[in-house]
Structure 1
Amino acid sequence: MARLPDLEALAIFARVVELRGFSAAAADLALSKATVSKAVTRLEARLGARLFNRTSRRLALTDAGARLAERARRILAEGEAAEDEALSQSLAPRGLVRLAAPMSFGLAEVAPILPDFLAAYPEVSVDLHLSDEVIDIVGMGFDMVLRIAALPDSSLVARRLRPVVRHLVAAPAYLAARGRPTHSAHLSEHACLGYAYLPSPETWRFLNPAGEEVSVRPAGPLRANNADALTPALLAGLGLAVQPDFAVGRLIAEGRLEAVMTGWSAPPVALHLVQPPGGPRPARVEALADFLARALSRRA
């Protein structure tokens, strides 16, 4: 008669690999170190292969262990997600969700709405990481990332939430002193403040309604890796910059900045909610993903 796989031993093995040690896995699983060691030994005996090379100071996967590790990790993740999904039918979502978002957008639009989510789900906690860098969602262990871009095809699961409009802006004082550009050809005569994480920061591209595309190599006194960091220089009249609406929309409405070259637009980008491939996902992750999708889509 066929034997069922030793799922418990596979899950324990996956945790040992993840935490790089028997003691760490035992502490994480609230088991004795002996129980963890016996489970791995049982798995090795069943498979007829050594999974670790062990010394007093070092634990390293064998070739057989390395081949098994990724499948064991997936089995553990599927098991945890299945339990979370079953529990969610009778229990409120609970646990930690790791979320990353661009710095300026996170401060302007994500942080203000998180209290509503945390009030609705008191047993869920959120680890919010703000950075304009492109986050390796799988390698850095995030449950989801908010990304503003024209996304390439990938194995990641992306949900498009809304378009993000970008404006070429400057202060009225700058425009009065240096003139108002109406075509990209004029930008060579202007001070351009740059954003370091554009797909090609050395080149600005613009499109018009007829489909014509032009590009320019901007030059100016400042480049920064965060949109808000350019605002003081803009308000001081030091140059022009391509900025997203969430960073400058209020300043345009107040007349402190003005949009120029309005017959042209930067290439379209959108706000996406990005998650690792695979599933099902824990209830706490689905709860936050659905909340962000509803709240941030409405804020367009």
Structure 2
Amino acid sequence: MDRLTEMEAFANVVDQGGFTDAAKKMGISKSAVSKHVSSLEARLGARLLNRTTRRVSPTEIGLAYYDRARRVLNDAGEADALVTSMQSAPSGLLRISVATDFGVNHLSPVLSGFLAAYPDITVNMVLNNRYVELISEGFDVAVRIGELEDSTLRARKLTETVKRMVAAPSYIEKFGRPAKIDDLNEHKLLHYSSQSSGNVWKLTAPSGEKRQVRTAGWLSVNDGQSLLNAAISGLGIAYLPSYLYADALKSGQVVDAMPSLPDEVQGVYAVYPPGRFTQPKVRAFIDFLVESFAEKGPMDW
């Protein structure tokens, strides 16, 4: 007889407390259930059930076997559900977390194409500049830029961006370019106010030395586009990713404030919860992002 069917019959007898109810649940006859259990006991060479006229209960060995058998049956059920789910069309609510600047400028414009391709998916995109806990806060996927802190999450690289210091030509004409990192202390700097580390720029010197620049800054804003606008207007130097300043740099609205510094290349990733199975809606969205950003970055935005 089939080993899995024998396990299922035995587990159902334990769950239902008898052969009659187990037979009803399995949709087979009571004698067939009894036959499966007897075959299992004969194969194992052990009595798994105590049978009386009033009730059926597992023996000590039977209880231990039940715990393992139930796990095997649950895994088998999940495996069947996995195959069914992977063959089904992506659907359901997809919750996305993304930094405001990237979401507004680059993710929002491509969402219409994704929703047109997958009409059974609805999207809830949350824009914020804080680190979210995907699982505890109920997000399916997040788009993150830079070094990934949480190694337990799965990640797929979408593209790259380059952080540079940019300023308006009028600012450079008036105040000059900083020749070295220490010169930044004498310049008007524009900062992200939402950074947990405060007004700190992490830079790499031409020598390869890692430096941290901490200054008060002339202006702090919790929005990258606003910082870019401030830089364009000549208010100071902003340290921004290329997905924000690339067009302004090409048009001459801003220039590289310190061309001598090495490029600070950052990865743009789609991150999602760990596990052997990725939901079809998540897999479809990440595949779509990979295709959408295939020709983007690090400077072509």
**TM-score with structure 2 length normalisation?**
0.69
Partner-residue secondary structure (3-state), 1:194: strand
Look up the match of 2:290: 293
Q: Look up the equivalent residue of 1:231 and give its one-letter code.
A: L
Alignment partner of 1:83 is 2:61:
no
Deviation at 1:105, TM superposition (A): 0.7
| 1:1-50, Cα deviation, whole Å (9 max, x unpaired) | 754489x9xxxxxxxxxxxxxxxxxxxxxxxxxxxxxxxxxxxxx9xxxx
Look up the match of 1:111: 108
Alignment partner of 1:235 is 2:216:
no
Query: In 1, Cα distance between the equivalents of 2:235 and 2:159?
Result: 31
Deviation at 1:87, TM superposition (A): 4.2
Alignment partner of 1:212 is 2:209:
yes
Alignment partner of 1:256 is 2:253:
yes
* Closer, same or farther: CA 99–150 of 1 in aligned 2, 3 Å: same
Deviation at 1:208, TM superposition (A): 4.0
Look up the match of 1:15: none
Q: How does 1:47-126 map to 2 (within 5 A)?
A: 79=78, 83=81, 85-89=83-87, 91-126=88-123
Report if aligned partners of 1:101, 1:129 keep a CA contact under 8 Å in 2.
Answer: yes
Deviation at 1:293, TM superposition (A): 2.0
Report if aligned partners of 1:184, 1:215 keep a CA contact under 8 Å in 2.
Answer: no
Look up the match of 2:158: 161
Deviation at 1:209, TM superposition (A): 5.0
Unaligned ranges ≥5, structure 1: 9-45, 47-74
Q: Percent identity?
A: 32
Report if aligned partners of 1:144, 1:274 keep a CA contact under 8 Å in 2.
Answer: yes
Find 1:151's aligned residue among 137, 148, 152.
148
Query: In 2, Cα distance between the equivalents of 1:227 and 1:277?
Result: 30
Deviation at 1:110, TM superposition (A): 0.8
Query: In 1, Cα distance between the equivalents of 2:191 and 2:246?
Result: 18
Unaligned ranges ≥5, structure 2: 1-5, 16-56, 58-73
Report if aligned partners of 2:91, 2:121 keep a CA contact under 8 Å in 1.
Answer: yes
Partner-residue secondary structure (3-state), 1:182: coil
Find 1:279's aligned residue among 266, 269, 276.
276
CA RMSD of aligned residues (A): 2.8
Look up the match of 1:196: 193
Report if aligned partners of 2:192, 2:199 keep a CA contact under 8 Å in 1.
Answer: no
Partner-residue secondary structure (3-state), 1:246: helix
**TM-score with structure 1 length normalisation?**
0.69
Alignment partner of 1:177 is 2:165:
no
